[in-house]
Structure 1
Amino acid sequence: MKLCDLTQFYSPLSGGVKRYVHEKIAYIQSATTDEHVLVVPGPKTECVTSERSRIYFIHSPLISRTSHYRALINLRAIEQILERERPDLIESGDPYQVAWKAIASGEALRIPVVGFYHSHFPEAYVRSAAKFLGQTAGEAMMDFTRRYVRNLYNSFQATLVPSARLGAVLTEWGVENVCAVNLGVNTTVFFPSPDDTAATRAELDLPASCRLLLYVGRLAKEKNTSLLFRAFAQLNGNGPQ
């Protein structure tokens, strides 16, 4: 079987989607006899081949100098790659123009297409912007976004979500084909261990009475860091430690 992942959410630096697709590639190469094709934006058009994996980078303009994300606007190049590779299944990890191209190409080539709802963008971006428009206009924008999500993801054979809770939200919005997928945990890094609170505080030179708040994630607006900063502000003492 040949599987194809297609996404615009790809940065050479880091990111959850990049980790997801590369973990998939590693699993396919180590535990199956399948082939994998990945189509993503890049600084230049090229194909990188490794064993049964091919990564197609399509030259795309930079939209963030910090995260190095790019806008994949050469949809014809996507179409040509899919026509040449003819995968058995296409997975789109993008809710914008790339998703619609995946759906159209899948229909033309008679290839099933599924969508992975990696980012809850209505809450991360639209609701934040809607706050500046007033309640009526803001709710109208959110209603439009919910309809967009429903129309797009009902066009896929299935919609994969990383949690049952998010799947319930999409189901409530009218998405009919939701399937929760457990992404798993890297147990070589994260695993149960005896309570080492005392050792951790000793290593950080923190007294037992000191509050310790740990955030693991990217400092970005879509990660709701405003809530994080408010939580830090409520800590007692001279500031967060």
Structure 2
Amino acid sequence: MKLCDLTQFYSPLSGGVKRYVHEKIAYIGKHSPATEHILIVPGSKTQMTCNGRSRIYSIRSPLLSRTSRYRALLNLRALEEILEQERPDIIESSDPYQVGWKAIAIGRSQKIPVIGFYHSHFPEAYLRGSIKFLGKRGTHRAMKLTRSYVRKLYNQFQVTLVPSELLADVLSDWGVRNVRAVRLGVNIDIFKPTPDDRDTTRESLGVNRNQKLLLYVGRLAREKNTKTLFRSFDLLYRRRRNDFHLLIIGDGPQRHQVRELQRRTGNVSWIQYCTDSA
């Protein structure tokens, strides 16, 4: 069995989709000796590297963001050539844009099943802040068009995987007929209750024993709805000044708001980036 993952959401600074595909690579390496795996992503140059039984193809692509290091995979002919050469048994697309459409077209021409993974609820993320520009009526129309787009794209996959039951219900309500919720699980080799290092962690962060520690891990960007996070913590601080401490792990365009929250409350710790989950 040969599996293929396609995604544009792949950055040297990690990210949820990158974590997902690399956990899959690690699982195949440990538990599935009969399985081959290929991963096709955008990169700074065109090359192929090996990771155990996985081959990672990067296709030279223009940079979209200097902060997140995401790139736009525009060379769809190179993508097609790799798939013609590799001939996987299943293609999994984690992209709702041009790569997703190309995956569907290649799957049909080569008679390869193609499934989609709806990792992020991108319509809500990008339209959340549009009401002040488009107004209520314009935002409602934009959301209607977006729902139609999601329905048209994802109904063409054999299956649409989603990481939660809640998101499965949303897409089903939108008319996506092939939704399957999957539990991504937790790596218990890393995240485990022993040894109990809570006191050491709190001391290193300057968190009082009596304070409740709140945690946010992710990119500091508008589409992650971090503005709600900042407002909520500011409200907690004003009502119960020293009862809570917020730990933020991540970086992005809204780093200035984090610094301001730190300055204003004194109860915010910020780790810009963790290179090693262990």
TM range (shorter): over 0.9
Q: Does 1:87 align with 2:88?
A: yes
Q: Which moved more, 1:110-119 or 1:216-225?
A: 216-225
Separation of aligned partners in 2, 1:204 and 1:155: 48
Q: Distance in 1 between matches of 2:13 and 2:158?
A: 31
* Residues 1:133 and 1:76: Cα distance change in structure 2 (over 3 Å): same
SS in 2 for 1:215: strand
Aligned to 2:173: 172
Cα displacement (A) at 1:220: 1.9
Contact 2:15 2:218 in 1 (8 A): no
Within 5 Å, give how 1:48-197 maps onto structure 2.
48-192=49-193
Deviations 1:171-201 (A, max 9, x none): 0000000001111101123234699877765
Determine whether 1:229 maps to 2:255: no
SS of aligned partner of 1:128: coil
What is the letter of the counterpart of residue 230 of structure 1?
A: R
Other-structure match for 2:258: none
TM-score (norm 1): 0.93
- Verify: 1:239 aligned to 2:265, yes or no: yes
Distance in 1 between residues matched to 2:201 and 2:52, nearest whole Å = 42
**Matches of 2:38 and 2:188 in 1, distance apart?**
27
Decide whether the 8 Å contact of 2:168 with 2:180 is kept in 1: yes
User: How many residue pairs get matched?
Assistant: 241
Match of 1:25, as an amino acid?
Answer: I
1:130/1:141 contact within 8 Å kept: no
Alignment partners' CA distance in 1, 2:83 and 2:156: 18
Partner of 1:24: 24
Deviation per CA, 1:18-48: give whole Å up to 9, x if none: 1111111111121112100100000111111
Aligned partner of residue 54 in structure 1, secondary structure: strand
Corresponding residue for residue 6 of structure 1: 6
Q: Is 1:37–2:38 an aligned residue pair? A: yes
TM-aligned CA distance change 1:233 to 1:48, over 3 Å: same
Gaps of 5+ in 2: 242-263, 268-278
Task: Note the C-alpha offset of 1:128.
Answer: 2.2
For 1:28 and 1:64, the matched residues in 2 are separated by 31
Query: Which digits, 9 at most, give the CA deviation of each residue in 1:143-179, with x for residues without a partner?
Result: 0000000000000000000011111100000000000
| Matches of 1:198 and 1:50, distance apart in 2 | 37
Q: Distance in 2 between matches of 1:46 and 1:201?
A: 43
For residues 54 and 196 of structure 1, do their structure 2 counterparts lie closer, same or farther at Cα, with a shift above 3 Å needed? Answer: closer
SS at match of 2:41: strand
Matched residue SS, 1:187: coil
Is the alpha carbon distance of 1:197 and 1:90 closer, same or farther for their aligned partners in structure 2, counting shifts above 3 Å?
closer
* Matching residue's letter, 2:113: P
Cα–Cα, structure 1 residues 31 and 196, in superposed 2: closer, same or farther, change >3 Å? closer
Could you report, residue by residue, the CA deviation over 1:99-140 in whole angstroms, capped at 9, with x for unpaired residues?
Answer: 000000000000000000011100111232344201111100
TM-score by length of 2: 0.81
Q: Distance in 1 between matches of 2:209 and 2:31?
A: 46
CA offset at residue 210 of structure 1?
4.3
2:74 counterpart SS class: coil
What is the alpha-carbon root mean square deviation over aligned residues?
2.0
Secondary structure of 1:56's partner?
strand
* Structure 1: 5+ residue stretches without partners: none
Q: What percent identity do the matched residue pairs reach?
A: 63
Distance 2:11 2:202 in 1: 35
Shift of 1:214: 2.7
